[in-house]
A = this chain, B = another copy of it.
């Protein structure tokens, strides 16, 4: 059941207090729910979109493409993430967003974004904070793609997704759902498909993880974290204001 009280946004420490008045307001501006199958387009590049979303359940990813088809995945979206903030701030989005799994979205009409800023400054602040948080994730991806070798990149990606899953209560004892295929991984890390496969095989061989049926099992999270140079501090909590 899709209801605001159990929205993952609360797990991100955003929308902390949920007084009746805020709840009522949120309910009023939220125009609908939306369910999409895995693979569906949520935002299409260059195509105007009049909506912004919140990801209630499932995974999605943001990407850009070059004219000849080369694709770069910019970041992955997990429950509680804002979908299409950038798109809603510009006239035409310069990136695409697609569903990685089946997803449920809460729809916020673009015009209403302004209403939020006008009438609910703390909510507006939350939106800005979520935007800054996404940028921080992209920063880390850029560091990985620009300055890490293949092993380090893969390690950083896996650990990063694990930590985010964990913060949402979606991981247990190093085990969590991992819906990416090797194509997604290679496009996220700027590697070729073949080399991604070999790197994954290597990490598996040295006992870093097992992966079957879409479930990732980290068998040596310490070593993986060290290899990926991912620090807890990267995953920040909301500030006090």
Q: Which residues of A contact B (CB under 8 A)?
A: 46, 62, 64, 66-67, 70-72, 74, 85-86, 89-92, 94-95, 114, 117-118, 121-122, 124-125, 127-129, 131-136, 138-143, 145-148, 187, 189-190, 229, 233-234, 236-237, 239, 241
**A117-B125, A233-B46 known; A143 vs B189 contact (CB < 8 Å):** no
- Give CA–CA (A134, B85) in the complex, Å: 13
A138 to chain B, nearest CB (A): 5
A128 cross-chain contacts in B, Cβ below 8 A: 89, 117, 124, 127-128, 131
**Complex contact B239–A89 (CB within 8 A):** yes
A142 cross-chain contacts in B, Cβ below 8 A: 64, 72, 74, 138, 141-142, 145
**Complex contact B143–A91 (CB within 8 A):** no
- Give CA–CA (A179, B3) in the complex, Å: 52
Give the interface SS of chain A, mostly helix, strand, loop or mixed.
helix
Apart from the given pairs A89-B132, A92-B233, A145-B145, 15 other A-B contacts in the complex at a CB distance below 8 Å = A62-B139, A64-B140, A64-B142, A64-B143, A66-B147, A72-B142, A74-B143, A86-B132, A89-B129, A90-B239, A94-B234, A117-B124, A121-B124, A146-B187, A146-B190
**Complex contact B135–A66 (CB within 8 A):** no
A239 cross-chain contacts in B, Cβ below 8 A: 89-91
**Complex contact A138–B136 (CB within 8 A):** no
- Give CA–CA (A169, B94) in the complex, Å: 24
